[in-house]
């Protein structure tokens, strides 16, 4: 349900009231990027933003990343003190960072006005500024992109507004009574219990004190390091395999035994192993069974190893699973011949197999 709801919010383009997922996003990245490029088109034409590079931060603070992959919404990673400038597009014109819904409507977060609905972006700083992209299509009032910016308490916005282009005006969005009528349409998709992909952030909502936000965010990070057991967050580690052209990532928390892990790895790297282990495979056998993979891993050709917190490469399987995931930093499927130091008798099954 959540995915359909988020699709809803992307696909419609302004006719009357739509059901909107509350700030559903991030599934919609492809649409967003096109939407954003629309914005930059408009912005290019109407605002000479080249010189208006908004830098948000304390004097002397370093410029925050402008990685377009950087979303606000990866919880736990978000440090409230990070600042989200406008992303400069290639010719230096700032466009709004994609991936979240504009806030600020009176009733509900979703942008209800048409031309506006494509523009899903919000940038977070403490202040609020608006672009008035005049001359936009059909004169919809929603050419005003109102971006509410949330940030940490300590930030003053340094606005170097020396552009010669259109000054941001203070025009407000037209409040959307349309949305009021549609109360009943804002239905359960807003409060589905399965996690909406990502919700956009509105300044000050949910109303949690900055101090609490900062403290909890830090605690979560620390807990991850200190006692992996008690925190449910994903534990992604890279998995590399000799000879494979690219690496994979697995979330160790999704497994509870070595067998589950090795099955999963087998499936992931099957495409590489078939090729390489052709001689070992019985003809007609299409899938590498778990045993086969075990053979691969613990057989003559491949060994599963991991790098622990101290940087040492260890054989997978010696310690209890819980201990393993606490110390595993990355995985590597090594060729048996390379793993001689690690796995003295690679053909034998390991002693502790959970």
Partner 1 sequence: MHSFHSMLNYFPEEVLEHIFDFLTSHRDRNAVSLVCKSWYAVERFSREKVFVGNCYAISPERLIARFPRVRSLTLKGKPHFADFNLVPNDWGGYVQPWIESIVRGRVNLEELRLKRMLVSDESLELLATFFPNFKSLVLVSCEGFTTDGLAAIASNCRFLRELDLQENEVEDRRGQWLSCFPDSCTSLVSLNFTCLKGEVNLASLERLVARCRNLRSLRVNNAVPLDALQRILAQAPQLVDLGTGSFVHDPDTESYNKLETSMQKCTSITSLSGFLDVSARCLPAVYPICGQLTSLNLSYAPGIYSDELVKLICYCNRLERLLVLDTIGDKGLGVVASSCKELQELRVFLSDVYGIGNTAVTEEGLVAISAGCPKLNSILYFCQQMTNEALIMVAKNCPNFIRFRLCTLNPTVPDAITMQPLDEGFGAIVKSCKDLKRLSISGLLTDQVFLYIGRYAKQLEMLSIAFAGDSDKGMLSVLNGCKKLKKLEIRDCPFGNVALLADMGKYETMRSLWMSSCEVTFGACKTLAQKMPRLNVEIINENDQIEASVDDKQKVEKMYLYRTLVGPRKDAPGFVWTL
Tell whether residue 242 is a contact of partner 1 (CB under 8 A): no
**Residue with Cβ nearer partner 1 (76 or 88):** 76
Cross-strand bridge partners of residue 248:
239
Question: Which pair of tokens denotes residue 131?
Answer: 């672009």
Tell whether residue 157 is a contact of partner 1 (CB under 8 A): yes
Provide, rounded to whole angstroms, the least separation between the CB of residue 117 and partner 1.
17
Provide, rounded to whole angstroms, the least separation between the CB of residue 170 and partner 1.
6
**Residue with Cβ nearer partner 1 (203 or 274):** 203
Q: Which stretch binds partner 1 (CB under 8 A): 48-56, 168-176, 243-251, 269-277?
A: 168-176
Q: What is the largest CA-CA distance in the chain?
A: 75
Phi/psi at 309 (nearest 5 deg)?
-60, -25
Tell whether residue 38 is a contact of partner 1 (CB under 8 A): no
Q: Which stretch binds partner 1 (CB under 8 A): 176-184, 248-256, 262-270, 303-311?
A: 176-184
CA proximity to 118, closest of 28, 55, 195, 197: 28
**Residue with Cβ nearer partner 1 (159 or 264):** 159
Residue pair 306/235 in contact (Cβ under 8 Å)? The answer is no
**How would you class 13 by CB atoms within 10 Å of its CB: exposed for 0-12, middle for 13-18, buried for 19 or more?**
exposed
Provide, rounded to whole angstroms, the least separation between the CB of residue 220 and partner 1.
6
User: Interaction with partner 1 in 97-136: which residues (CB under 8 A)?
Assistant: 104-109, 126-129
**Residue with Cβ nearer partner 1 (20 or 294):** 20
CA proximity to 292, closest of 270, 315, 316: 270
**Residue with Cβ nearer partner 1 (129 or 321):** 129
Provide, rounded to whole angstroms, the least separation between the CB of residue 290 and partner 1.
32
**Residue with Cβ nearer partner 1 (7 or 220):** 220
- How far is 263 from 19, CA to CA, in rounded Å? 41
User: Interaction with partner 1 in 301-330: which residues (CB under 8 A)?
Assistant: none
- Residue 236 Cα to chain centre, angstroms: 13
Provide, rounded to whole angstroms, the least separation between the CB of residue 346 and partner 1.
35
- Residue corresponding to tokens 């109102």: 146
- How far is 30 from 11, CA to CA, in rounded Å? 11
Question: Which pair of tokens denotes residue 136?
Answer: 């936009």
**Helices assigned H by DSSP within 101-155:** 114-117
Q: What is the CA radius of gyration of the chain?
A: 26
Binding site for partner 1 (CB under 8 A): 22-23, 72-73, 75, 78, 104-109, 126-129, 150-157, 159, 161, 168, 170-172, 175, 180, 183-184, 186-188, 190-191, 193-195, 198-199, 201-213, 215-217, 219-220, 222-223, 226-227, 229-232
């Amino acid at each position: 349900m959540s995915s359909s709801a988020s699709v809803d919010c992307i696909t419609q383009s302004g006719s009357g009231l739509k059901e909107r997922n509350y700030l559903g996003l991030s599934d919609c990245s492809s649409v967003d990027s096109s939407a954003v490029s629309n914005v930059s088109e408009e912005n290019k034409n109407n605002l000479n933003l080249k010189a208006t590079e908004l830098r948000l931060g304390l004097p002397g603070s370093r410029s925050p990343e402008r990685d377009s992959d950087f979303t606000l919404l990866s919880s736990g990673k978000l440090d409230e003190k990070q600042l989200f400038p406008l992303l400069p597009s290639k010719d230096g014109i700032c466009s709004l960072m994609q991936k979240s819904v504009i806030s600020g409507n009176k009733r509900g977060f979703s942008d209800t006005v048409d031309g506006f609905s494509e523009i899903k972006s919000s940038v977070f700083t403490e202040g609020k500024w608006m672009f008035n992209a005049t001359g936009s299509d059909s004169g919809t009032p929603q050419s005003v992109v109102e971006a509410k910016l949330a940030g940490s308490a300590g930030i003053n916005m340094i606005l170097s507004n020396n552009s010669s282009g259109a000054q941001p005006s203070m025009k407000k969005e037209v409040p959307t009574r349309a949305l009021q009528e549609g109360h009943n349409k804002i239905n359960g998709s807003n409060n589905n219990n399965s996690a909406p992909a990502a919700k956009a952030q509105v300044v000050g909502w949910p109303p949690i004190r900055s101090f609490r936000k900062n403290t909890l965010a830090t605690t979560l990070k620390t807990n991850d390091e200190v006692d992996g057991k008690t925190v449910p967050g994903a534990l992604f580690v890279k998995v590399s395999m000799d000879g494979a052209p690219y690496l994979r990532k697995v979330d160790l928390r999704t497994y509870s035994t070595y067998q589950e892990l090795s099955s999963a790895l087998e499936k992931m790297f099957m495409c590489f192993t078939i090729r390489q282990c052709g001689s070992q495979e019985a003809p007609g056998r299409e899938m590498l069974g778990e045993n086969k993979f075990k053979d691969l891993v613990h057989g003559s050709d491949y060994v599963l190893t991991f790098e622990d917190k101290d940087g040492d490469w260890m054989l997978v399987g010696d310690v209890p699973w819980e201990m393993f995931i606490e110390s595993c930093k990355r995985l590597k499927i090594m060729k048996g011949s390379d793993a001689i130091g690690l796995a003295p008798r690679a053909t034998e099954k390991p002693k502790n197999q959970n």
